[in-house]
Amino acid sequence: MDPRIEEHARIVVEWSTEVKKGDLVGIRATPDSHDFVVALYKKIAEKGAVPITLMSTEEMDRAFFDGADDETISIAPKQFEALLEKVDVVIAVRSPSNTKAMASVDPKRVIQRSIAMKRVMELYLSKRWCLTVHPTNALAQQADMSMDEYQNFMYDATLLDWKEESKLLYKMKDHLERHKDIRFTGPETDLYASTEGRIWIASDGKHNMPSGEVFTAPVEDTVEGKIYFDIPFLQQGKVIEGVRLTFEKGEVVNFSAEKAEATLKEIIEVDEGSRRLGEMAIGTNRGIRQYTLNMLFDEKIGDTVHCALGRAYKDNNGTNESAVHVDMIKTMHEGEIIAGDELIYSKGRYFYEM
Amino acid sequence: MDPRIEEHARIVVEWSTEVKKGDLVGIRATPDSHDFVVALYKKIAEKGAVPITLMSTEEMDRAFFDGADDETISIAPKQFEALLEKVDVVIAVRSPSNTKAMASVDPKRVIQRSIAMKRVMELYLSKRWCLTVHPTNALAQQADMSMDEYQNFMYDATLLDWKEESKLLYKMKDHLERHKDIRFTGPETDLYASTEGRIWIASDGKHNMPSGEVFTAPVEDTVEGKIYFDIPFLQQGKVIEGVRLTFEKGEVVNFSAEKAEATLKEIIEVDEGSRRLGEMAIGTNRGIRQYTLNMLFDEKIGDTVHCALGRAYKDNNGTNESAVHVDMIKTMHEGEIIAGDELIYSKGRYFYEM
């Protein structure tokens, strides 16, 4: 077995989910992540814990949607809930063999199913949980890479000294929380928001592996100015690129995109909340050197910031509500991040590197 | 998808487990059976039921055994039990990618684990359950076949008109239960047992797919005579071949094997019950034309009988207790099966074909 798979499993078991003696663990995986699941089993057993694995693929989901009528789609999977009620830890492994198997399913039916899965999601989030990735050809293809390249990309992003990363992320959280606002500047960009009463969260690999970001929910009606997001991202199967947004009193008053502007327009017009920001964040993972159209990685790229239109997180004390939460990313090599009177980042360096 | 996979799924969902509206279904499968699981999902959804799938492989089991100490091995998987408590139907799919991944694990530890899994097994058997097979290279290899050959073998055995098979099996059960004893004759064979007070079970594809046998538990101390089992079988990783057994008052008083006699001796000497028969049975599946060292198939071969040393089934009103249950098979093309004064089978024909 590739020793990186074993190291990845060690990080997820020891750092992310802190599996300990007597824990009952639930894993959600695909056939393509079998090697990683085998590595997880050994590590989990070494901790004195007992794993069980659910197999879930987009092809299986698709077959369910193809076979089920609307009544069946609305049945809650009580057996899944019963399993989750018993576990202490959940590890979800994203490792698709085909990212487009669900492409032609009516999105309304997908939403209907997700409503039936609400309790599953609540239970999942109430545990020590971690979402991670195991490299597959489907993910490599989505990233325009060979499998070998993608494996290198993925493990460079993941096999970090997370204790050390965590220290830096918490240092950044501390500095950001000394101030009451945040400002992103750079080419075609000068965006300001109040963060008074809001919490900055250091995402240090507990719930996402890889991770590496510090994020908050801005005070909704205080967002002012403009920003240019230069990194493409995927929404509704479309690659949206070169997004420019202008805010007044927290609302988007002007927008454009170099590609797929119609899709951007649809997103902004979903509801009241989708024209406001639910998140402002700083990416810190220097192991990630390029975007791959996979938000789990892209939003953590080092020397970037990102903002999300739509739903805010309660954990940030955010209040914005929306059916959507759409992240957009900007590289900051030529920009600055300023909190109150403190320079948090400037042209390639975080404050603790200055 | 191979249309035989869809037909196999239809038979398991409609005939074996009779999945109906509102059922919660649990599937246990491997990465190699993903296609079959996809076919099951569609059929299950069409019935208005909701499936969930556990991924379980010998490689995963092996990693758990490699990592776990004796204390960990004894922890009951409560999350697995919780899931099984909720389901109405269990479908277990045997489709290994390597049948020998557990070969070097201490059998004592495997037994220790199976004790911790006792409640799981009880729950499993309390549901509408079916054990079936999806073709893999590992199974083909074990059967000395190519994958294509093995697929043909497997679907010939499985894609039968089970309603029609069931009629014949129940007819045979009725005839056998009119009498109080059973006798198998043929080359080097004349074996007699009382079946008074015992139940003959028609195995018509509900719990095993494929199936095709009628079996009972003989009255333990009435087994008399000798029998020659000409079909090889696998035990403890060894192929045992050409077994001859002689019984007096229900106990083995003489035995030999043309191959692996030492392993046969070990089996017979496990405990008191392992020197007596726990099962006598008639195989009826004419779709199975050769042995493959896989008991799920081999014991159902048409024109055969089989006997098991060891544990009897309570459902037969059997009383023999033992840690083992080892089936051995004899072809009957030159033999006869007689119940009381009735000829049940003679040289290639069951009574309903005479």
Cβ distance B53 to A48 less than 8 Å, yes or no, reads no
For residue B54, list chain A residues with Cβ-Cβ distance below 8 A.
52-55
Of A38, A56, A67, the CB nearest to B42: A67
Distance CA A265, CA A262 (A): 5
Helix (H, G, I), strand (E, B) or coil at B321: coil
- Rg of chain B over Cα atoms, rounded to whole angstroms, equals 20
Cβ distance B82 to A83 less than 8 Å, yes or no, reads yes
- pLDDT score of B103 more than 90: no
Distance, in angstroms, between A36 CA and closest chain B CA? 10
Distance, in angstroms, between A30 CA and closest chain B CA? 8
Calculate helix-pair angle for B78-86, B118-125, nearest 10 degrees: 10
Cis, bond preceding B210 (omega within 30 deg of 0): yes
Token pair recorded at residue A251? 């609302």
Count Cβ–Cβ pairs < 8 Å, chain A vs chain B.
149
Distance CA B66, CA A142 (A): 36
For residue A65, list chain B residues with Cβ-Cβ distance below 8 A.
45
Q: What are phi and psi for residue A203, nearest 5 degrees?
A: -95, 100
Fold of B3-159: Thermophilic metalloprotease-like (3.40.1830)
Q: What is the mean pLDDT of chain B?
A: 96
For residue B72, list chain A residues with Cβ-Cβ distance below 8 A.
45, 48-50
Tokens 């139907």 correspond to what residue?
Answer: B89
Distance CA B335, CA B337 (A): 7
Q: What are phi and psi for residue A125, nearest 5 degrees?
A: -75, -15
List of E strands, B161-240: 181-186, 189-194, 201-203, 208-209, 213-216, 224-229, 233-235, 238-240
Give me the pLDDT at residue A107, please.
Answer: 83
Name the pairing type of β-strands A89-94 and A50-55. Answer: unpaired
Tokens 């008053």 correspond to what residue?
Answer: A253
Is residue A130 within 8 Å of A64, Cβ to Cβ? no
DSSP B19: -
Cβ distance B50 to A60 less than 8 Å, yes or no, reads no
Residue-wise pLDDT tens digits, B221-277: 999 999 999 999 998 878 999 999 999 999 999 999 999 999 999 999 999 999 999
Give me the pLDDT at residue A237, please.
Answer: 80
For residue B50, list chain A residues with Cβ-Cβ distance below 8 A.
72, 75, 77, 79
Token pair recorded at residue B146? 């190519």
Give me the pLDDT at residue B111, please.
Answer: 86
For residue B39, list chain A residues with Cβ-Cβ distance below 8 A.
63
Tell which residue, B188, B211, B194, has the closest CA to residue B282.
B211
Give me the pLDDT at residue A317, please.
Answer: 97
Give me the pLDDT at residue A90, please.
Answer: 98
Of A32, A82, A87, the CB nearest to B86: A82
Give me the pLDDT at residue B60, please.
Answer: 97
Cβ distance A26 to B53 less than 8 Å, yes or no, reads no
Distance CA B354, CA B344 (A): 10
Number of residues assigned to chain B: 354
Q: What are phi and psi for residue B106, nearest 5 degrees?
A: -55, 120
Of B22, B34, B83, the CB nearest to A83: B83
Over residues B121-137, mean pLDDT: 96
What does the domain layout of chain B look like in residue ranges? 3-159, 163-353
Cβ distance B55 to A80 less than 8 Å, yes or no, reads no
Give me the pLDDT at residue B223, please.
Answer: 98
Distance, in angstroms, between A331 CA and closest chain B CA? 40
Residue-wise pLDDT tens digits, B269-320: 999 999 999 999 999 999 999 999 999 999 999 999 999 999 999 999 999 9
- Please, which pLDDT band fits residue B323 given cuts at 50, 70 and 90? confident
Is residue B327 within 8 Å of B321, Cβ to Cβ? no
Cβ distance A54 to B49 less than 8 Å, yes or no, reads no
ipTM associated with this complex: 0.92
Give me the pLDDT at residue A55, please.
Answer: 98
Give me the pLDDT at residue B120, please.
Answer: 96
| Cβ burial B314-325 (10 Å sphere, 16+ → b, else e) | eebebebebebb
Distance, in angstroms, between A84 CA and closest chain B CA? 7
3-state helix, strand and coil shares in percent for chain B, rounded to the nearest 5:
35, 30, 35
Of A49, A51, A67, the CB nearest to B46: A67
For residue A71, list chain B residues with Cβ-Cβ distance below 8 A.
48
- State the burial class of residue B235 (Cβ atoms within 10 Å of its Cβ: 0-12, 13-18, 19+): middle
Tell which residue, B219, B245, B241, has the closest CA to residue B232.
B241
Of B41, B59, B80, the CB nearest to A38: B59
Tokens 């939403």 correspond to what residue?
Answer: A111
Give me the pLDDT at residue B157, please.
Answer: 97
Of B59, B68, B87, the CB nearest to A45: B68
- Rg of chain A over Cα atoms, rounded to whole angstroms, equals 20
Give me the pLDDT at residue B107, please.
Answer: 83
What residue type is assigned to position A219 of the chain?
V
Cβ distance A64 to B56 less than 8 Å, yes or no, reads no
Q: Chain B residue closest to A78 (CA)? A: B86
- Taking chain A (354 residues) in runs of 10, the rounded mean pLDDT of each run is 97 98 98 98 98 97 97 97 98 95 89 92 95 97 96 97 97 97 97 98 97 97 98 91 98 98 95 96 96 94 97 96 95 97 96 93
pLDDT above 90 covers what percent of chain B? 95
> The whole model's pTM is what?
0.93
Distance CA B5, CA B13 (A): 12
Distance, in angstroms, between A91 CA and closest chain B CA? 14
Cis, bond preceding A210 (omega within 30 deg of 0): yes
Of B60, B79, B87, the CB nearest to A37: B60
Residue-wise pLDDT tens digits, A202-222: 999 999 999 999 999 999 999
Q: Chain A residue closest to B85 (CA)? A: A79
Distance CA B73, CA B80 (A): 15
